[in-house]
Chain A
Amino acid sequence: MTALHRPISRRTLLGGLAGGAVLAGAAGCSGGSGSQDQPAPVPTDGKVIGRTDLEIFAWSNGPTIDANFKKRVDLFNQDHQGKFTAKINFLPYDQYWQKVQLQYAANKPFDIYYWDVQAYAHYKKGLVFDEQPVIDTTAMMDAAKYPTNLYDPWKFDGKNLYCIPENIQSTALFYNKDHFDEAGLDYPDATWTWDKVVEVAPQLQKSSGGKVTRWGLDIGTLGIWWGIQTLAWATGTAFVDKPLEPTAFQMTDPKVVESMKFVQDLMWAQHIAPRPEERADVAANNGGFASGAYSMVPGATWDIASYNQMKAKWAMAPMPTYQGQRVAPYWLGGWVIPKKSGALTAAQTFALWSATTFQKQMAKDHDWIPIENAARDSSDMLSGMPDGFAETMKALPQARIGDIYTTNMQQIFNEVFGPNFDQMFNNKLTPQAAAQKMQDAATKLISN
């Protein structure tokens, strides 16, 4: 009997298949890593690296922004006819980073994907190029044309950009003009302090049958860690010693605790803003500010696109000053291109085109705020935008990054900030106790 015809025993067959399955699994368990500072190849002389058909991935931001993204991709395809074709795919945010990470694990990363703080881990693992040489081929580093000082937090190695920024976001106090008109009150403006907000909010509140039907104020973004941190910034301190790879948390700093107490008091001591359960009810019932349930809310500029659909008249003002100071947060939006992008040149071209040529159209779309100064200050941007927008943008040069970049930050958000702020907002922990718990737990996690 030849070896070819030797019958395979069941044990051999099963063992072989199991071994094959494990090997196949193990082979897939490697995204590979490289050095962090590898510069991206600069597209020159029309040389194309990778495919010309580009697959773009972003998370869904609602119908208005998604539709604008699609139009942007159509415009890119028109501008690059015969050279590149792009297609955009939207994923729900809660599945987005799983998919990005699993693609890396399968060694087939997306061609290009939209940035959020999770992508910092991809830089740390050496999975993304230093895009500085590519960015240097444009006017993006010209301080007269772009807010280059705001790029600094994205220079993860202290020198170079690893993602390509294209838009900028900040926060503002949004208010319902109809409510103010009805109450005969002046609109908020850049001179408003938080004390003024506390004074005015009860005058805007409405009740019926023992239940508040309209709140003068909602804590809005002050209910998120970075929102409270803006108050701490105003007092001269911060949650961490530095936003990029922090080495120490400063939650127990008396000024930080005071900021936390201020927000808690809005809900519990003064009760001029809904408490967590009341907020949940409003959110489930009619959606908050957009539906007229709140007269004022500290919010982020990425909400502008959805607020533009409101029937009521609304506007925005710079965030009220806290203890005499105002420090606005900002966030950069942009693109991450993996080293193993299958369409590297197309991806770089799309990201750079978005940050340069497309900026004028971005200003007209009124969804994202262009990073290019001229586009951001253009009449295209300002016409149709709510009152107070231009004033709010004036705070950008002094703004501070609203992120913290360290690989285990997601765990700190979920396990430390989330539950302890929740407890504090529910008045089950004093700000001092919450700060102490966060300080201890976050310090432990950051040292791991």
Chain B
Amino acid sequence: MTLTRTEPVAAPSDGPRGERPKRRRSRMTRNQALWCYLFIAPALLGLLLFSLGPMVASFLLSFTSYDLLSAPQWVGLQNYVGLAEDTLFRKSLSITLIYGVVSVPATLLIGLLVAILLNGKIPAMAFFRSAYYLPSVISGVAVAMLWKWLYNGQYGLINTVLGALGIPGPAWLTDEHWALRALIFMSLWGFGGTMLIYLAGLQGVPKELYEAAQVDGASRFRQHLHITVPMLSSVTLFNLIMGIINSLQVFAEPFVLTPNGGPNQSTLLLSVYLYQNAFQYLKMGYASAIAWVSFAIIVVFTLLVFRSTPMWVHNETSEER
């Protein structure tokens, strides 16, 4: 059975001879529509029940006081007003922003540099590509457990190496000045996904551009600065937006490495604070408000990034015109 129709559509007719094909067409159209809805139903239902439905429900809950144990009570904007006055929320927001501002650009930079390195002709290329990508496919909790050992102040590998170099290693996870840095540093380990997308983007950069630059005497650094970076700007845009979204949603690593917001709540990222309010303090309405503020922040950042694209994203289509 085909669901697409390619034959010419008969002109509408008022006469008795024209009625039959019209009815058949109508039945066919209905049949096609029915099949169409049937095929898209699983995806549509999944979207509505497991994404859109909970989103709408959480939006409504954000205007309620809801403790899971009794019915929600409408409180209007009280949760949002509460957030504005909540010093811990502001602290959590600033910690999350610091985390994002450092980890997102750093991940982009490392991902790009490693992608450029792995785009060349080096031995055991497949091994290196897999090795760098591997951390991205390991579960966040497993990664956190691994890093917990690496960060151990007395017996951890990092401080052992630092000690061998004569540098006293800090108390990575229990010192409030180091805990967030430790989380950011660990996040860089997951640059594999960014690298892979850059690597795919690099395949699309015409070789002729580099050859022409070489002829003009451009150094390797200048070639990458003036060819690779602009040519990959649309890839950077994608990675940047995904990075912003991920950094505002990071949860497993801080939750496992530094429980309850870490030393002096120095790693109380927004998602952790949201979790605490929802499941430990039974303030589901308040937590929903945090979720929506977090969503609004993501939207604002994404829009700002999109608005800035004419300044830095190389768009072949517009230039060809």
Residues of A bordering B, CB below 8 Å: 5, 7, 13-14, 17-18, 20-22, 24-26, 29-33, 97-98, 101-102, 104-105, 121-122, 125, 127, 211, 276-278, 280-281, 284-285, 408, 410-411, 414-415, 418-419, 422-423, 426, 428
Contacts of A98 in B (CB 8 A): 279
B78 within 8 A of A: no
Q: A25-B57, A414-B260, A426-B174 are in contact. Are A31 and B70 (CB under 8 A)?
A: yes
What CA separation (Å) do A121 and B45 show in the bound complex?
36
- B interface list, Cβ under 8 A from A: 30, 33, 37, 44-45, 48-49, 52-54, 56-57, 60-61, 66-72, 88, 148-149, 152-155, 171, 173-176, 260-261, 263-265, 276, 279-282
* A-B contact sample (9 more), CB < 8 A, given A21-B53, A98-B279: A14-B48, A21-B54, A21-B57, A31-B71, A97-B280, A104-B68, A125-B70, A285-B152, A414-B260
Do B52 and A426 touch across chains, with their CB atoms under 8 A apart?
no
Determine whether the beta carbon of A422 is less than 8 Å from that of B69. Answer: no
Q: Is the CB of A13 within 8 A of B264?
A: no
A7 and B44 contact, Cβ closer than 8 Å, known pairs A30-B70, A125-B67, A426-B174 = no
Contact of B56 among A22, A277, A414 (CB under 8 A): A22
Beta-carbon contact of A410 and B68 below 8 Å = no
Task: Give every chain A residue within 8 A of B260 (Cβ-Cβ).
Answer: 414, 418
How close is A267's CB to chain B, nearest CB, in angstroms? 13
Closest to A26 in B: B57
A408–B281 CB distance below 8 A: yes
Contact of B282 among A5, A101, A276, A422 (CB under 8 A): A101
Assess the A285–B69 pair: CB atoms within 8 A.
no
Q: In the complex the two chains form, is B264's CB within 8 Å of A428's CB?
A: yes
Docked Cα-Cα span, A105 to B149, in Å, equals: 38
* A127-B69 CB under 8 A given contacts A25-B53, A410-B280, A428-B264: yes
With the chains together, A439 CA to B72 CA distance in Å?
Answer: 31
Residue in B33, B48, B69 whose beta carbon sits within 8 Å of that of A21 in the complex = B48
A410-B281 CB under 8 A given contacts A21-B53, A26-B60, A284-B149: yes
Distance A20 CA – B56 CA, assembled complex (angstroms) = 11
The answer for the CA separation of A426 and B266 in the assembled complex, in Å, is: 14
CA distance A102 to B66 in the complex (A): 12
CB distance from B282 to the nearest CB of A (A): 6
Residues of chain A within 8 A (CB-CB) of B171 are 276-277, 280
Report yes or no: B52 in contact with A21, Cβ–Cβ below 8 A. Answer: yes
Least CB separation from A98: chain B residue:
B279
- The reply to whether A280 and B173 contact each other, CB–CB distance below 8 Å, is yes
CA distance A426 to B264 in the complex (A): 10
> B57's closest neighbor in chain A, by CB?
A25
Closest A-B pairs by Cβ, 10 of them: A21-B53, A281-B154, A25-B57, A277-B171, A33-B70, A105-B68, A30-B71, A125-B69, A17-B48, A31-B69
